[in-house]
Copies of this chain bind each other. A is one copy, B any other.
Amino acid sequence: MARRTASEKAATHERILRHAARSFRKEGSAVGIGEVMKDLGLTHGGFYRHFASKDDLLVDAFSLALADVAERLEKAALKAPAGEQLRAIITTYLSVEHLAHPETWCALATLAPDMSRLPPSIRKRLESALVAYMERLLAFMPGRTEQERRGTFLVLISGMAGAIALIRVFAERETRERMLDIARGYYLKAFSA
């Protein structure tokens, strides 16, 4: 119960951010500040030493979540043999693992509607995070020009996010996996053939 060193503060800031990025993806952006802090063994009052408001945390957490997924997908692509990189991105994105773990995977599939309801002033920061997401994966997208590759990213990622979001509404494991197979089959054929 006293002042912390600068590096301790930075570590706490990051812990709040990382945990919020998971909680919002898992349970939605209605998760309270009190709950996030409590999960970390902290009290709610201290939150405002780290973020100006909940909206401020939301934007940063959404941005971190997007960067996190971009990194995961990039790693999956880089691990794949040459020519199989886009295939790796698609099978990683449309996986049972992704379906079952919203808290560590794509924020677009869980939070896109919440993102679009944030105040416009703050949404600009989210747009940057989305552009960064795209930039990170652009090299793996098919297309002759950069414009084409951007278009491919838009259609492919938003399409797969929509598929994950829809499939998650269904409860039965069997139904979900059948739908996932259909979607994966389509995107592999349409984008990586």
Contact = CB atoms under 8 A, between A and B. Distances in A.
B116 A165 contact: yes
A167 to B, nearest CB: 8
- A interface, over-half SS: helix
B182 A166 contact: no
- Interface size, A (range): 35 or more
Interface in A107-125: 108-117, 120, 123-124
24 contacts: A27-B117, A30-B30, A108-B162, A109-B113, A111-B113, A112-B166, A116-B165, A116-B168, A116-B169, A123-B169, A126-B169, A127-B169, A130-B166, A151-B185, A154-B166, A155-B182, A155-B183, A157-B166, A158-B159, A158-B165, A158-B183, A161-B162, A161-B165, A162-B165
A170 B127 contact: yes
Contacts of A186: 151, 155
Contacts of A138: none
Interface string A82-117: 000000000000000000000000001111111111
A163 interface: yes
The complex is assembled from copies of this chain, and their number is 2
A16 to B, nearest CB: 22
Nearest to A26: B117
A166 B170 contact: no
Contacts of A160: 159, 162
A114 B165 CA distance: 10
Nearest to A147: B182
A155 B28 CA distance: 24
B171 A124 contact: yes
Contacts of A109: 113, 162
A151 B187 CA distance: 12
